Structure 1
Amino acid sequence: MGDDSGRPAPSAPRSPSTRPLVEPIPGEPAATAAIGDERALLVADYHAGYEAGLRYERGIDVPSRAADRRDLLCGLLERTRPDRLVVCGDLMHSIGDPGGAERGELEVLFESFAAELAITVVKGNHDGRIETWLADDDEIDVSVAVEPGAGVALGDVGVCHGHTWPAPAVLEREVVVLGHEHPCVRLEDEVGGSRVERAWLRGRLDPAPFRDRTEYEDVSWLEREGASPPRVVVLPAFNDLVGGTWINVAGQSFLSPFLPDGLADGEAYLLDGTRLGPYESV
């Protein structure tokens, strides 16, 4: 997917570098990022307890894949050796407090993490009161920072969930990373068969939908002539059961309030890194 480094952030200039700032892991729904002196692993839309939610909400009985999700994430942590895990929203699935199978899945997951791993969870629309639960659980030994869904600036990377408008500080970073959308592409073969695959979506932020919002009056690049907007990376859903937005199918509504209008030159990539080109024409 190439180098996702972009313009120097006005409030945090950095020396020139040839390293990618955000780099997808080939074949996996995750990316690594350079955050100051730290190396981070970025994921989104883990949706712990999703199978329990299907039973409760829709009456659909699906065997739990909690162990598979945990093994995949722990394997990525072992492989990439990050200083920090960043969850870009929807770590859990229920809207309120986690309970039952969901809470059990999360407790076992957190117990699997190395004690020295720092964790940042940006709240998604499914994360309810997750900060209260994490603060009250004596079984969790790792350091967890819970940030609002509008996001937070981590070094030169702005992370948010995507279900609400980003915080101004997020837009001042070189790259904006979000989840929520669960981007997918529908692919058809020459005999009419089709399949749906998770995808990455990337491009640059289009300033148009942000300019009329008062909270962004001090975001310098929005009004500066010749300024280059940040790059944007929409992460695929970590949980492969949750479906998502078919970004290349006409009439599909995006979930984020600033997409697709806020995305310029948007291109789609498969998890293995295959470049599909402009997402609308895939």
Structure 2
Amino acid sequence: MHPVQNEAALFLPEHELLVVADLHIGIEYELRKYGVYINSRVERLAERIKQIASKVKATKLLILGDVKHVIPSSPKYQQDALIKFFHEISKDMDVYMVPGNHDGGLKKIVEDISIFPSDGWFLEDMSVGFFHGHRWPNDHVVRCKTLVAAHTHPTVTLKDSFGYKFIEG
């Protein structure tokens, strides 16, 4: 298992498995409410993932949560974007997903992917367990030799000379 150089992805060559997370499809539309206009990135995102998969020779893709952005419902524009995205990437590889906290209702929108429980999934040999990170992983995942989590928002606690603490991140 190793990170894909210069990409936000992980590759497990022995399983031909590419792992990505936190894609937040639909965030462009959400940003428009705040005056930030960004064109849809669905086609580019799907193409980029396919290029990475081709480069590393992945035949399977695991999305480790938060493929969609808008919650709790999924507006039509987000549903259309998700359908387009999954249609495009599932042409070239099997797609699996461990849902994150933004992925409620995804099963109703996209039918051609395998969705594991939100408390995680693990390789049969229990060498690696995967979970999104918004929930505690299940017992099988916790017992794996290596754990892969998404969703984490790193923080650092800074303390000044007077003892005041500040959390950044």
Which band: TM-score by shorter chain?
0.7 to 0.9
Q: Do 2:82 and 2:110's aligned partners in 1 also have CA atoms closer than 8 Å?
A: no
Q: Do 2:96 and 2:116's aligned partners in 1 also have CA atoms closer than 8 Å?
A: yes
**TM-score of the pair, normalised by structure 2:** 0.82
2:17 is aligned with 1:48: no
2:149 is aligned with 1:178: yes
Q: Do 1:97 and 1:133's aligned partners in 2 also have CA atoms closer than 8 Å?
A: no
Structure 1: gaps spanning 5 or more residues: 1-21, 136-141, 182-244, 255-282
Of Structure 1 and Structure 2, the greater helix share is in 2
**Which letter does structure 2 place at the counterpart of 1:170?**
V
Deviation readout 1:147-189 (Å, 9 max, x if unpaired):
22211112321010001111111111121111112xxxxxxxx
Q: In 1, distance between residues paired with 2:28 and 2:72?
A: 16
Shift of 1:246: 5.1
Q: Which runs of 4+ in 1 moved over 4 A?
A: none
| 3-state DSSP of counterpart to 1:252 | strand
Number of equivalenced pairs: 159
Tell me which residue corresponds to 1:99. Answer: 75
2:16 is aligned with 1:39: yes
2:50 is aligned with 1:71: no
Q: In 2, distance between residues paired with 1:246 and 1:151?
A: 20
Deviates more, 1:155-164 or 1:41-50: 155-164
2:3 is aligned with 1:24: yes
Structure 2: gaps spanning 5 or more residues: 159-165
Q: Do 1:44 and 1:178's aligned partners in 2 also have CA atoms closer than 8 Å?
A: no
Tell me which residue corresponds to 1:252. Answer: 167
Tell me which residue corresponds to 1:191. Answer: none
Q: Do 1:46 and 1:90's aligned partners in 2 also have CA atoms closer than 8 Å?
A: yes
Shift of 1:113: 2.3
RMSD: 2.2
Tell me which residue corresponds to 1:210. Answer: none
Q: Which has the larger radius of gyration?
A: 1
- Structure-2 change in CA distance of 1:128 and 1:105 (3 Å): same
| 3-state DSSP of counterpart to 1:112 | helix
**TM-score of the pair, normalised by structure 1:** 0.51
Q: In 2, distance between residues paired with 1:69 and 1:46?
A: 9
- Structure-2 change in CA distance of 1:42 and 1:158 (3 Å): same
Identical positions, percent = 25
Shift of 1:132: 2.3
2:149 is aligned with 1:164: no
